[in-house]
Structure 1
C-alpha cells in the first residue's frame, strides 16, 4: 500500500509539473475568460478594473517564476485619454506596465535581452476608437488584446520551465494604455529598466486569437534582424503554419515604439475581423487551438534566438 501511495504521489507531482510547463488551450481560455469578463468592463486605463487586471498579471508572473525588477512588477505612468473630436479633455489617469524578466545563464549574453510584449488594456465602454454605433457598451476585447495577454502568460510559463537553456535574458511586458496611443510602450522605451542598447529584439503580440482555416500568421519587421524573414518563414512552415512574413511593414502596435529607438522588432497577429473595436469581440469567437499554435511558434522563435548565440543586430527597414 505504501508503494502504491508513493507511486500515485510521484505521478501527481509529475503531472502537475507537466501541466504547468506546457502551453494549453484550457489555460489560455482561463486567462481569456478572466481578462475579457464583464466585471473587467473592457480593461480601460485607470479605475478598479485596471487594478484588478494588473494584480492578476502580477500574481501570474510571480507564480510562474518571472522575477520583478528592483522597482517591482509595476512601472507606473500617467495616461492622457483620447476623447471624441471637439469634446472636453478627460482627466489624466494612473495606469502601469506590468514587467518582469527571466535571466539567461551565459556570462556575456545574459546582458542581452529579448522583449516579449502584449498590451492588456482595451476600450472600456467604447469611446473615440470604437467602430460601433452602440454607446456605453462593454467592448470586451477578447482578441484585442486579451488573446495577446493570455499568450504572454502561457509563453512565459513555458520559458520559465526551460530557463536553464537560456543564454540571453527575456523581459516580459504587459503594456498599459496601448489603445490611447501606444502610451505604455512609449513610456517603457523612454524610461527603460535596462539599457536600450542591450535589447536585441522586441516581439509583440496583438490580436493572436482568430487564426483562420489557412493557418495564417501575419508579421511585420522580420527584416529588422539578420536572416529574419527566412528564419520566421521556415520555422512557421515546420510547425504546419502559413506565415505571411514582411521584412518591413512595422506599424500599428507597441513594437513601433521600440523600432523608433533602433531596436529589431517582430509584430505578430492573426488578421483583422468584423468585430475589431466593437462589443462583439468576445471569447466565444476565439480559436484556442490556433492561438496555442501561435504560442508554440513564438516560444520556439524565442528559444532559437535566446538559447543560442544567434547573431542579433538592428537592420533599418525605412
Structure 2
C-alpha cells in the first residue's frame, strides 16, 4: 500500500496547480542552452528535446494518446538558400492527452500547440544567412515550448475540463510548418472533433505595455468577446485580431476549417539570429501569457453550447 501511495504521489500529485516563473526559466534554460545547438530536426539535440518533453509530460500526469507520445515523420531539410537537393531527416511531434470529464463532451478536443525545433547553426531561414553560429531560439520557440509544458501541467493538475485536450509539441515548424501539416494529414483523432486549436510561437518578449497579440479570435463564435474579457482578469492588454492568422502551426489547422488562436508577444531584432537568448526573455510576462491562455482553454473546454467554426468573410 505504501509503495502504491508513493507511486501515486510521484506520478500524479507532483503536478503544480500554478504556473511558476522558476519552471518557465528552467525550461528555457534547457531548451535554449548552447549545448542544445539550436534544436535542429534529425539531430541528437532534437532527440534530447523530445525526451525532455516526454519526461515533463509524464511528471505532470499527462498521458499519451494511444500507446506512444511520438508521431514520427520524415522531412526534407532546408540547408542553404537556392539549394533544392537537400537531405531528409526523421523527426517527431510529441502528443500528450488530458481526458475531459464530461461523458459526451470529452469526445471533443481543444488542441494546445507550440513548435520545439529551431534553426540549428543557421541556414536558409536565418536573418544572418552567412553567419555560422548556434541559433539559440530562446523566444523562437523555447518560450512557447515552455508555456506548453507549464499550461499542460496546470490543466492536468486542476482537472477542470469537460472537453479533452491534446498538447502537441510540433517538429520541423521552421522547415515550413511540417509537423503541424503532418498531424492534420495524419490525425490521431478525427479532425472534426477538434473544436479549437491554440498555438504559441514567440511568447517570451512581452513589452512594458503588457501586450499579447493573437490572430483568429473571430474564427469561433464568441471568441472576440472572450479573449478581450480575459485581459483585465489576468492583468494584460490583449491585442485581439479577428483573423490575420499569421504563419505558424495554427495555419495548418485553419486550412482544415478548424477554429484557431495564434499567440505571440511581438517581433524583435533577434528573431532568427544567434542573439535570441534567454537573457532577453521576460519571464514574468510569459507567466501572464500562460495564465491568460490557461483561462481561455478552461472557458472554451467547459462551454455547454457547441463551439462553431466561423470562416472569414472576404469582400
Instruction: State TM-score, norm by structure 1.
Output: 0.92
Q: CA deviation at 1:237?
A: 2.6
- Say whether residues 1:177 and 2:172 are aligned partners: yes
CA distance in 2 between partners of 1:186 and 1:205 (Å): 16
Q: Secondary structure of the residue that 1:30 maps to in structure 2? A: helix
- The CA deviation string for residues 121-158 of structure 1, in whole angstroms up to 9 with x for no partner, is 00000001000255220000000000000000000000
Q: Give the aligned partner of residue 196 of structure 2.
A: 201
- Say whether residues 1:252 and 2:247 are aligned partners: yes
Q: CA deviation at 1:87?
A: 2.4
Q: Secondary structure of the residue that 2:73 maps to in structure 1? A: strand
CA distance in 2 between partners of 1:85 and 1:43 (Å): 20
User: Quick check: which has more Rg, 1 or 2?
Assistant: 1
- Say whether residues 1:232 and 2:243 are aligned partners: no
Structure 1: which 4+ aligned runs deviate by more than 3 Å?
A: 16-19
Q: Give the aligned partner of residue 241 of structure 1.
A: 236
Alignment of 1:208-287 (within 5 A): 208-287=203-282
Q: Give the aligned partner of residue 25 of structure 1.
A: 21
Q: Give the aligned partner of residue 75 of structure 2.
A: 79
Alignment of 1:105-144 (within 5 A): 105-132=101-128, 134-144=130-140
What CA RMSD, in Å, does the superposition of the two structures yield over aligned residues? 1.5
Alignment of 1:34-73 (within 5 A): 34-73=30-69
Residues 88 and 107 (structure 1), Cα distance of their counterparts in 2 relative to 1, 3 Å cut:
closer
- Say whether residues 1:154 and 2:150 are aligned partners: yes
Does the 8 A contact of 2:250 with 2:260 survive in 1?
yes
- Say whether residues 1:168 and 2:163 are aligned partners: yes
Q: Secondary structure of the residue that 1:174 maps to in structure 2? A: strand
Give 5+ residue unaligned stretches, structure 2: 1-8
Does the 8 A contact of 1:226 with 1:311 survive in 2?
no
- The CA deviation string for residues 210-247 of structure 1, in whole angstroms up to 9 with x for no partner, is 00000000000000001111110111132221111111
Number of residue pairs matched by the alignment: 303
Does the 8 A contact of 1:83 with 1:89 survive in 2?
no
- The CA deviation string for residues 236-276 of structure 1, in whole angstroms up to 9 with x for no partner, is 13222111111110121000000000100000000000100
Q: CA deviation at 1:301?
A: 0.5
Q: CA deviation at 1:18?
A: 8.3
Q: Give the aligned partner of residue 4 of structure 2.
A: none
Q: CA deviation at 1:20?
A: 2.4
CA distance in 2 between partners of 1:96 and 1:150 (Å): 17
- The CA deviation string for residues 14-64 of structure 1, in whole angstroms up to 9 with x for no partner, is xx9688221000000000000001111000000110011100101111110
- Say whether residues 1:102 and 2:95 are aligned partners: no
Give 5+ residue unaligned stretches, structure 1: 1-12
More deviation in 210-219 or 232-241?
232-241
Q: Give the aligned partner of residue 182 of structure 2.
A: 187
